[in-house]
Structure formats: C-alpha cells, structure tokens
Amino acid sequence: MGFPTMKTVAERTKTIESLHRRYAGVIFDLCVRILKDSAEAEDAVQETFFSAFRALDSFTYGDSHLPWLYRIGTNVCLKMIRTKKRKGAQLSDNIEATAAAEPENLTGRLSIRAQLQSLMEKLDERNVQILTYHYVAGMNQQEVADMLGISRRAVVKRLTKLKEIAVQHALEDHHD
C-alpha cells in the first residue's frame, strides 16, 4: 500500500536528474567538508540525491532546492559518521587520540570529523545538526532558521547556548 505519491515516478526521476546535474558539485563541497574524504563524500552525494528522490513530494522550501538538499546532505553525512563510529569504535578512538595528541595548531578544519564524533556523544541530534549547519556548512543564523522553519531568534538562542562547546571543539566561525 503506502501513501499515494503526488508526482509520477518519471517526473520525480527527471527532477532529481536535473537537480543532480546542477547541484551535485556543491553538495560534494558540503560533504567533503564534513567527511574529509573524497570517496566517502561521493557516496554521500549519491545517498543525498537518492534520499531526495524519495522525499521530493515533501519539498516545501519555496523557490530553491538548495537549502533542502543541504539539509539532506548534512544529515546523510552525520549519519555516516555515526554509523561508522558504531561499527568501528576503534577507528573513532584512533581519530580522537590523534586529535588529542596534536598541538593547538591542528585547526578545527582538519579534525572536524573527530570533533563531530565527539559532539555526538555530548549533544542531541538536533544540536549537532545546528552546529554543523552553522560552523561546517557555513550557514549564517538566518539561513539556518529558514532551513529549519524556526525563527532566527531561536537559532541565535541555541547557538549562544552551544557557543562554549563549539569553541571547545575548535569549530571555526566563518562568516557570521
């Protein structure tokens, strides 16, 4: 059974194909920033557009598909980090150990993945997402708010609360 779909399969496929052609490269840019690995980022891009195909009927972000794809892409990457961590706790420990052993000049950028792993142990999923949107994907407060369908004030409040932990995890504030 399942819910009836609003668009035909052919329409959905065509839409995804053209979205992939237009935006896959910048979704790759996003994924490679989070995952720090080109091959994994390529897989994440595939998974993002595959998920987008399934979710296309619920697309509700107005004119542009980009924020929506960013949201899916971010979630795909975070899930990959989490899943991989569960499967290989050892690996995660190694990354953490490496990160901890490096002096301060190891920037947040290089160890973003390790930092995200460590954040996942301390924060709930939504907070990790918000930190990723802001610090890793480089969205400003208004862009995060638009994407989540909440007020800018709510985002500011949340980011203020998370500021300390973000600093502890060497997340860089890029452009806000």
Partner 1 sequence: MTECFSRFTLVRFHKKDLTDETHQRIQTHLDECSRCRDVLGEIQTNDAAYNRNATAHSKRLMEALASEIQSENAADSNSAVSKVVAISSRKTKKNVYILIPLAAAAALTLALYFLPYFKSAPLDEITYKGGFSAGIIAKRADEQFTVRPNDVLRENDALRFRIQTSGAGYLYIMNIAANGEITGLCPFDAPLNSPGYLVDAAGEHVLDESVVLDNSIGTEQIVFVFHSQPLSIDLIQKHADDIIKQKTLPLKLRGGHIQFIQFEKK
Vertex 142 angle, CA 139 and 143, to 5°: 40
Query: Does residue 107 contact residue 162 with C-beta atoms inside 8 Å?
Result: no
Q: Which residue has the tokens 């839409």?
A: 15
- Closer of 25 and 163 to partner 1 (Cβ): 25
108 belongs to the binding site for partner 1 (CB under 8 A): no
Residues 83, 35: Cα–Cα separation, whole Å: 13
Q: Which of 11, 83, 94, 122 binds partner 1 (CB under 8 A)?
A: 83
How many whole angstroms separate alpha carbon 89 and alpha carbon 72?
25
Distance CA 51, CA 33 (A): 20
Q: Under the criterion CB under 8 A, does residue 34 sit at the interface with partner 1?
A: no
CB-count exposure of residue 53 (10 Å: 0-12, 13-18, 19+): middle
47 binds partner 1 (CB under 8 A): yes
15 binds partner 1 (CB under 8 A): no
Nearer to partner 1, 25 or 93 (CB): 25
- Is 107 an interacting residue with respect to partner 1 (CB under 8 A)? no
Residues that bind partner 1 (CB under 8 A): 1-4, 6, 9, 13, 16-17, 20-26, 28-30, 32, 38-40, 42-43, 45-47, 49-55, 57-58, 60-61, 64, 66, 70-72, 75-76, 78-80, 83-84, 87, 124-126, 137-140, 143, 147-150, 174-176
